[in-house]
A and B are shown apart, each in its own frame.
Chain A
Amino acid sequence: MDKIVIVGASAAGISAADALRQRGFTGRITLLGSESHLPYDRPPLSKQLLSGQWEPERLRLRSAEQLTELDLNLRLGATATGLDPHRREIVLAEGEPVDYDGLIIATGAAPRRLPGGDLAGVHYLRTLDDALALRSRMRPESRMVVIGAGFIGAEAAAVARDIGLSVTMVDPAAAPMLRAFGKSVAELLAALHVDRGVDLRCGTGASSLISERGAVTGVVLDTGERIPADVVVVGIGAIPNTGWLAGSGLLSDGRLDCDEYCAVASGVYAAGDVASWFNPLFGTRMRVEHRTSAAEHARAAATNLLAAPADRRPFASVPYFWTDQYDLKVQAWGHFDESCDLAVRHGDLSERKFVAVYGRDGRVVGAIGAGMPKQLREARSLIVEKAEFPG
């Protein structure tokens, strides 16, 4: 194998490049990034970057020196629009196709768009440019409506309140991040946002936007209520960037599904938000949109791409993620959702200092905590060991 192409130059893409070099690959690595920025980290976009605490330079995933050491053919502003797995070629929006011997797909995901959302003042939060555009609109006297109380929405609402904006957060679910964390933790977050002055409207969606001369002026809720807004943040989920693979024969119903080795086809691997894989640790297929998983996933994919078939290892991973809202940091391990039961192991949810475990079918499948990081890390082993729940 002489030429490896990595499509996507964010956390997964750059981690794949790193891992290829660490595993001794000395051939040509082409890293294609559709954005014009050097590889940068996304989690701070809705946290330190949005609050103005950090400037874009701090988000760089690798220094100039580290990038030089990796000896990459780094092509920024290069958007892949097609893939021909038989000719082993990537088609680009501009310029000649790029051929490969080995391929790693790490094109991530894009925000789900709100119909009729192409208005000034309506913001999504996925890229550095998105975050800088939103930041420039977040003046203390502004009125913000956040549509969707997931990771992006809840974090943006917290930053906005810290800056002093008046914030209304709307979500059809009964509490923020309910689908991800379940009722108990979601209620804790609801109380936190209300304490900090967010006008929280749960159990209702946004039905339309009101605008004047192409700029948003308000949001109409499903209840018919109209909420005035200067700035609207839309955080209603993300869609994997698989569109460019249509016609490649690699997609199943539009999805990019990998096996337990992160392989899609011979010589083609995928990592990060874009692809699901079969995680043997949980005995199920999953697609994870978290920063740490992207890096681990990419490393596994890169290692398996270089390995002889008999030496490949399944990617058995316990996903890790966190969210920062105000001064509360919630960290979690595992694979769980609102259908799981929760059992508190340390501390107290009402004090916002706790460790709790999620259970499914009598086994621990997740752990979540705030303010007790060491106990939380120790709880991770319960997931690996498939400990009995509630224990």
Chain B
Amino acid sequence: MKITWNEERCCGSGQCVLAAPDLFDQREEDGLAVLLHPYPEAEQHASAREAALVCPGRAISIEGSP
């Protein structure tokens, strides 16, 4: 699985940090997301998908499965 994050779409809601705190952080200055681990471990796949699903800016996409 690969996570991609699109800065232009990110609206800084921090939803991804709540859904997947191991995978995302939020920049202090503008609140935009920071993708910590583009290639999550198997046990992080569910939270990565959740982050993509809840992102109000649709800035996060997931490639590959499962």
| Chain A residues near B (Cβ < 8 Å) | 15, 18-19, 22, 41, 43, 61, 291-292, 295-296, 299, 320, 322, 329, 331, 372-374, 376-377, 380
- Tell whether, in the assembled complex, residue A292 and residue B26 are in contact, meaning their CB atoms are under 8 Å apart: no
**Nearest-neighbor residue (CB-CB) of A291 within chain B:** B56
**Nearest-neighbor residue (CB-CB) of B27 within chain A:** A374
- Tell whether, in the assembled complex, residue A320 and residue B13 are in contact, meaning their CB atoms are under 8 Å apart: yes
- Tell whether, in the assembled complex, residue B54 and residue A373 are in contact, meaning their CB atoms are under 8 Å apart: no
| Chain B residues near A (Cβ < 8 Å) | 11-15, 17-18, 26-28, 30-31, 49, 53-54, 56, 58
- Tell whether, in the assembled complex, residue A373 and residue B53 are in contact, meaning their CB atoms are under 8 Å apart: no
Counting residue pairs across A and B whose Cβ atoms lie within 8 Å, the total is: 47
Max chain B CB contacts within 10 Å: which of A61, A377, A380?
Answer: A377
- Distance of A345 from chain B, by nearest CB (Å): 16
Main secondary structure of the interface of B (DSSP, over half): loop
- Tell whether, in the assembled complex, residue A15 and residue B14 are in contact, meaning their CB atoms are under 8 Å apart: no
A61–B56 CA distance with the chains assembled, in angstroms: 11
Main secondary structure of the interface of A (DSSP, over half): helix
Question: Besides the contacts A292-B13, A373-B12, A377-B26, what 13 more A-B pairs have beta carbons closer than 8 Å?
Answer: A19-B53, A41-B58, A292-B15, A292-B54, A292-B56, A295-B53, A295-B56, A296-B54, A320-B56, A329-B11, A374-B31, A377-B17, A377-B18
- Distance of A20 from chain B, by nearest CB (Å): 12
- Tell whether, in the assembled complex, residue B53 and residue A18 are in contact, meaning their CB atoms are under 8 Å apart: yes
Task: Please name all residues of chain A whose beta carbon is closer than 8 Å to the beta carbon of B18 when the two chains form the complex.
Answer: 377, 380
Complex partner residue of A373 from B30, B49, B56, B58, CB under 8 angstroms: B30
- The answer to whether residues A320 and B58 also contact, given A295-B53, A299-B53, A373-B31 and a CB cut-off of 8 A, is no
A41–B56 CA distance with the chains assembled, in angstroms: 9
- The answer to whether residues A61 and B58 also contact, given A299-B53, A374-B26 and a CB cut-off of 8 A, is yes
Closest 3 CB pairs between A and B? A373-B31, A377-B14, A373-B12
- The answer to whether residues A373 and B14 also contact, given A22-B49, A291-B56, A292-B56 and a CB cut-off of 8 A, is yes
- Tell whether, in the assembled complex, residue B53 and residue A15 are in contact, meaning their CB atoms are under 8 Å apart: yes
Task: Please name all residues of chain A whose beta carbon is closer than 8 Å to the beta carbon of B17 when the two chains form the complex.
Answer: 377
List 6 contacting pairs A-B, 8 Å CB cutoff, sorted by A.
A43-B56, A299-B53, A372-B31, A374-B14, A376-B31, A377-B14
